[in-house]
Structure 1
Amino acid sequence: MEVPDTLREKIEIFQANGQVFREEDELFTETSWAAVMMGQRIPMKGHNPMADTFDPGEIRQEVDEMEKSIRYLVQQMPLHGQYVQKYCPAGTL
């Protein structure tokens, strides 16, 4: 199947700088498009130059805080078997 022009344009933009262009009425979000592009192993040849204006220390601190929050939330979650037993008891037969 030939790739539609609209999708080809999305791929070219993503390859150029990792950005995702989204129309207002599209079903997929920017995050979903990025996941699709990376899942299809479409390489990024560059990055958005705006990223160079951010302080690397601040970025590292923000990422560390996100990781800390995720680790805390994961520790609060039940194990898979516990979840299935509690919320999907029919699946434990």
Structure 2
Amino acid sequence: MLNLPGAAPASPIISLFFKAIYGYMLDGGKDMGHFGFSYIGLLFLLLLFIPNIIWTKKKPEGYTADGENPVLRLFEHIGQVFVCCCSLIFSDFNFLD
């Protein structure tokens, strides 16, 4: 359970929330980077992808991506791949060990 100095003891739900969001960074970050499937990462990715899929089905008429900077688009795609991989292969965000 998460107990901060000078604060009342936290409930187990709040403790799980902090563990899910911050991983083990409250412990100095020494326990970060455990490989394994992260179902919380999958949930976050679904929350990101579902609205984007709906938007691609109902694009505004006349929309084109012609004016976008190709370098920025490349960096965006590299970042998307990196975030997707990291959110799925590190199990530090899971609620239960």
Please confirm whether the aligned pair reaches a TM-score higher than 0.5, indicating the same fold.
no
Q: Normalized per residue, which structure has more helix?
A: 1
* Max Rg structure: 1
Q: TM-score, normalised by structure 1?
A: 0.31
